[in-house]
Structure 1
Amino acid sequence: MHTAGQSRTPRFRRWLGGLGAALAGATLATLLVSASAAAEETTPTPTPTPTGDFTTTFTVGGIIRSDDTPLEGVEVLVEGDDFEETGTTAEDGRWAVVVPGRGEYTATLQVDTLPEGVAPRDPDNVTRQVTIGTTNTVNVLFPTGEGSTQRTTFADTLLTRLVYGLNFGLLLALAAIGISLIFGTTGVNNFAHGEMLTFGAIFFYLFTTAFGWNLVVSILATLLLSAAFGWVQDAGLFKPLRRRGVGLVQVLVVTIGLSIVVRYLFLYFFGGGTENLNTGLTDTVALGPVTITAASLVSMGVSIVMLVLVGLFLTRTRIGKATRAVSDNASLAAASGINVDRVIRVVWVMAATLTGLSGILYGLYRGVTWDMGFAILLLLFAAVTLGGLGSAFGALVGALIIGLFTELSTVVIPPDLRFAVALVVLILVLLFRPQGVLGRKERIG
């Protein structure tokens, strides 16, 4: 019997050969070594993964936290027809159970295994109905919080969600600015942008957890590969389309197709499960009533530094000013002697790098999955639209608004609905200010 990680190794090699022309020799060599190291499975699975690829492996799992603090040793009972298995959370709070196949299952939180002082938010609803149908992996949510032994005031809860919302908004901003810069200079809404986020997260996982590289080296290598990925997209696909005068609608369709192809390549070679990043930043820090992980603090710090650097780049450097000029009026910028193609190339590389960094931070925040970028793509577009299309600073403001409302809404509504609240906020703002928070009104007619 061999593990799921071992079954992926031949597919990684085939992927290596298929993508050779696209990502260049150096990138491919890194992928081959990293993919081979990815053979060790890190997601805790109480039962062995059956022989086969991702199309024949079915998993029920999830993550159990208390105010974003992972809970270790908590048990979840998964039952079905003639099947019963218990999953136990690991140090990062994740649990998983491999089930026999498609069908109906129930997942029950074993309340007596929760740590002292922690209880389900809804004690009468600790069983979830799970259907394995169109997807091979289903994640189950069991919201928990401090129990009766620790009283938490509404103000403490509000402050905690505010900090978490700021963290989420900052990492969204890194990716949203990339979307805004590409749209501002080319007019293209890139629906493959989410895959650039996933690209960064997957390679960072391979370098750190699978290959065991130093954290700083892994970050630098991931950002270099992300930059190369952006360069390849513009040089190999979008610049030729611009030269041929292909319309924006056709280019939009191309980005959708590119998104689908790259996303399912990730699924085929990376697998459908959730992987954990091994960075050593698992300690928690208490800031008054707020308990936050060291990884989240580092994520917030890195996001703030990078956003400041982007602002300085756009306002103080020559190429940054040229980027703003192209965004305002590409034809006038070209007539003024600005090399528009060069500016667009720089924008693609910078956008891919920022989005790859956002993927690293989001992987620390939620774990790494094959569709993680696609899952938050709508939020990224919402942030860009809310802040004002084509405005990098507007994307930052929009992302912070989305992040804050997403987390603050969980104070009064179930966490499953928090993304819907962010989109409702987008609709309400656009009803009263169609150009967005920092967008400019455009004359029609």
Structure 2
Amino acid sequence: KNKSPLLVGLGDGTFNVVASDAMAMLQVTDQYLELHDGEIVILTRESATVKTLDGEVLERAPYTAEIDASDIEKGTYAHYMLKEMDEQPAVIRNIIQHYQNENGDIELTEGVRELVSEADRVYIVACGTSYNAGLVGKDILERIAGIPTEVHVSSEFGYNMPLLSERPLFVFLSQSGETADSRAVLVEVKKRGYKALTMTNVPGSTLSREANETMLLYAGPEIAVASTKAYTAQIAVLAILAYDIARATGKELPFNLMPELARVATIMDSIMAQKELFEDLAERYLKTTPNTFFIGRGLDASVCLEGALKVKEISYIQAEGYPGGELKHGSIALIEDGTPVIALISQPKTNLNIRGNVKEVVARGANACIISMQGVEHENDDFILPHVEPLLAPLINVLPVQLMAYYAALARGCDVDKPRNLAKSVTVE
């Protein structure tokens, strides 16, 4: 094994198997043997022997995967992606259950609290959807916990590390915990003696094992290549971390997080019950277009990046996410008659600004779709979301763009769960 993930699945004496992820082997075994870089495994039907490069035999106990094979079945759903979007309310409730004690307070391990208490700056390192979740987490950490936070793309950070603060804490976001780009950064971080916290959906994964501490997402297996429930889970867990830091440092909290997350889960249920509305929106705005724009401001702009990514991944539409005010600095030149522009509006502070940006693109011929939240809505908006605390709005306004991407892919005849050129876990740099 060298860099890329490799795992041994132990059979009952009649077989042994290797793969990069436990989920690939769940149908045949729940017993696994982890391998570290620089180790060799010799497999026969009856045995698995782990050795160093010098030939020394290593004794290592297997572990049991905490995943139920039934969790990776589609059941009555046409696609894993639809199933996983539907699971998001349950994921939020599961996160509350795992991170809340009997008194209703947030409860993190002493190890996590110690890591955070020593840090003067947080560096979130991630790729793809996890990077987009990190952008939302940055706002939450800075506004709630008051700790300076940066978000970096893993594949760039490992080779172009910026000037760091004196006591940095690195937070690695990864659905699989096997992302090679992020793992390369973690190796460099450990070489320099810095501390790392991994937020992942997979206990026992490489990023979890090799970091100082782990906060699990408790989202259950995510099979579809386009990540949905891991995104909302990462934002929720980052919010929990921010609140715990704020409480420990005596900062005033703007609202009670856990009850508000419970409200978010209920609202998610209500949104997911209206799928046909988003199917109609996808039909109207995305079925035949070659390109589209997502625009928003503040936290909404971060969600726009995720909306554009979802559309690109599974429907193959050229999609871009932009801060609304940035379009007129160049990209508005691409707006033509009929170009779909999907605007997300949930932040009271920037409501009028983003609506002005919508008028700018409509004046150039754009076909605008507005998804807003109660409190900042206009009567002609295409969909109005129930009100939540604006800081948590990304947890609900991402659902419409996930659903629109899904239905656009269906309408265009694309393979929703297995889009071309992509893999679920990116295990090479």
TM-score band, normalised by shorter chain? under 0.3
Point out the structure with the larger strand share. 2
TM-score (norm 2): 0.24
Q: Which has the higher contact order (CA 8 A, sep 6+)?
A: 1
Point out the structure with the larger helix share. 1
